[in-house]
Amino acid sequence: MSGVELQPESTQSEEKEEPKTAATTISSTEETKTENPNVALDNLAKTPIQLILQPTPQTPAKTPETPRIQKINNLKKSASFDSKNQPEDSKTPKQRDQLIEVPSDEVGRVENNIDNLPFYHGFMGRTECESMLSNHGDFLIRMTEVGRRVAYVISVRWHYQNSHVLVKRTKTKKLYWTKKYAFKSICELIAYHKLNQIPFYDNMTLICGLARHEWQLNNEQVTLNKKLGEGQFGEVHKGKLKTSVFTPPVIVAVKTLHQNHLSANEKILFLKEANVMLTLAHPNVIKFYGVCTMKEPIMIVMEFCDGSSLEDVLLSKESKVSSEDKILYLFHAACGIDYLHRKHVIHRDIAARNCLLNSKKVLKISDFGLSVKGVAIKERKGGCLPVKYMAPETLKKGFYSTASDIYSYGALVYEVYTDGKTPFESCGLRGNELRKAIIGKSVILTIDVECPEFVKAIFEQSRLYDTEQRISSKRIIEIFKEEAGMHELDATGLFGRIGSFFSRVRRQKEAEPSVPILT
Ligand SMILES: Nc1ncnc2c1ncn2[C@@H]1O[C@H](COP(=O)(O)OP(=O)(O)OP(=O)(O)O)[C@@H](O)[C@H]1O
């Protein structure tokens, strides 16, 4: 006999000490140890340990088909972690159910720091996890929260279906279990079931552990320095990221998630931002380095912009943004948005405050907190929404699309040419009143200051009510190229600064007034 029989949890609470029965079973454990001193993981895989479900005086052992085992399986079904599931803490085994404790030395020498398990992914949402599971037997371990307490979930692909099995803990001894066997650590639970190919839930075994990606960083790789600001979910710091021992650390911006008072859903929302950024690489979009989800605080690590936000630059009393730079920034913003739209990402929060500038005057679209994958979606959202920047179809019916981003781009053009004024600031309406006024067309945004004709035309065509008529990001870029001689940046972000706009304007003024052709 190699397993230590464990009293059911409900009776364990009456236990004062570790069960003395362990001593008797340890002798047979030692037999195994003598045969395999320092048994290594690989050896274990080849020589699975035989475990026998032991009868207790009160509860004779039964075969897996018996109602008692069935009952355990039912319990485990409740532990299967469905979206509507309740925390299963209370659903502990009844008195007649049995678990078998497997002592650590039976499992062999295993890595006991979960962070070092290659297939442990830290805090991860279900959707992101399911996007990784593709083949039968693929599995990963992730962290979640059940009733504000950290819990581990084994996510596995089994016969074309994804299952999420919550690892449970016994009340008194705090042992980890999913089916029959209980372990001192989650690493032992995983190692034991994987190496011996014992089903850990129903008939599912752990076959192929999916390793973490390069972008799933360890907290130790990141150092936080000066605080840059604060957003809805947490703070942004300047920091350093160590990528290897051979290369110097990279200067980064690190978005940390407030540790307290955030539910698992809010954490998932925060990580959604990283999820969207993950697929993006463009000189006018903030670069993403990775996420730290192994422990608190959860962090998103991204490119550091050594300038300020466009909003701050526009509002700065010290210096005015030149006409040349206004064109440049709006062109960069259009290139960033166009790239997002080609990647089927709707940003949903285009505004000067979410455009960052670096010291080389390159504008980068940032803050993907509200972004979604897709070209058009319908979503009714409550809470704090950027009404002043939102399109009428969004305010009316919750429709978001690439066209609604373009409508917000119009608001960005307004901000740039009014030196950072917030749209509709002067109309005196707010919240729901403003929403109704925008839908009812009783307030309309106009640029009454000096502005190149072609920019004004872009602005007007971006603010059209009919989404079909609204200008596209592709067309905006073409116009900037045609009218201002702009060039897109290459991947390094070095080339493609302003072209011959001002010499062109001079030429046009000499010849005839500029008539923008917008199709
Ligand atoms: N990549 C970055 N490089 C440099 N500074 C940054 C970077 N990202 C954010 N910041 C700065 O950190 C501050 C907070 O950023 P964050 O995106 O969290 O805030 P926000 O957009 O105000 O809030 P929210 O996320 O709630 O929309 C901003 O002032 C911004 O200028």
Q: What is the pLDDT of residue 519?
A: 28
Tens of pLDDT, residue by residue over 211-233, are 998 888 988 899 999 999 887 77
Cβ proximity of 189 and 178 under 8 Å: yes
389 Cβ closer than 6 Å to some ligand 1 atom: no
Catalytic residue from among 349, 367, 448, 466: 349
Tens of pLDDT, residue by residue over 68-126, are 333 333 434 434 443 333 333 334 444 446 889 999 988 888 888 898 899 999 988 88
Specify the range with the lowest mean pLDDT, choosing from 73-82, 298-307, 464-473.
73-82
Report residue 283 as tokens. Answer: 């000189």
Residue numbers in the known binding site for ATP are 255
Nearest to 256 by CA among 275, 279, 277, 231: 231
ipTM of the assembly? Answer: 0.95
Band the pLDDT of 289: cuts 50, 70, 90: very high
The rounded distance, in Å, linking the Cα atoms of 421 and 430 is 15
Q: List, in order, residues 6 or more apart from 260 with CB less than 8 Å away.
A: none
Q: What is the pLDDT of residue 24?
A: 21
Peptide bond into 297 cis (omega under 30): yes
H helices, E strands: number in the chain:
16, 22
Q: What is the pLDDT of residue 269?
A: 77
Tens of pLDDT, residue by residue over 386-405, are 999 999 999 999 999 999 99
The angle subtended at Cα 175 by Cα 201 and Cα 61, nearest 5°, is 60
DSSP notation for 32-65: HHHHSTT--HHHHHHSPPP------SSS----TT
Q: What is the pLDDT of residue 219?
A: 87
Cβ proximity of 152 and 177 under 8 Å: no
The closest-lying atom of ligand 1 relative to the alpha carbon of residue 236 is 12
41 Cβ closer than 6 Å to some ligand 1 atom: no
Average pLDDT, the chain: 79
Decide the pairing of beta strands 216-217 and 222-230: unpaired
The rounded distance, in Å, linking the Cα atoms of 154 and 157 is 10
Cβ proximity of 40 and 109 under 8 Å: yes
Tens of pLDDT, residue by residue over 318-345, are 889 999 999 999 999 999 999 999 999 9
Q: Mark whether 97 is an active-site residue.
A: no
Instruction: Tell me which of 66 and 127 has the higher pLDDT.
Output: 127
Tens of pLDDT, residue by residue over 403-450, are 999 999 999 999 999 999 999 998 989 889 999 999 999 999 999 999
Report residue 19 as tokens. Answer: 């069960």
Tens of pLDDT, residue by residue over 140-189, are 999 988 877 889 999 999 999 999 999 999 999 999 999 999 999 999 99
The closest-lying atom of ligand 1 relative to the alpha carbon of residue 364 is 1
Band the pLDDT of 480: cuts 50, 70, 90: very high
* CB neighbour burial string for 490-506, b if at least 16 within 10 angstroms, e if fewer: eeebeebebbebeeebe
> Residue 235 pairs with which residues in a beta bridge?
230, 256
The rounded distance, in Å, linking the Cα atoms of 390 and 406 is 10
225 Cβ closer than 6 Å to some ligand 1 atom: no
pTM metric for this prediction: 0.72
Nearest to 411 by CA among 344, 350, 342, 339: 350
236 Cβ closer than 6 Å to some ligand 1 atom: yes
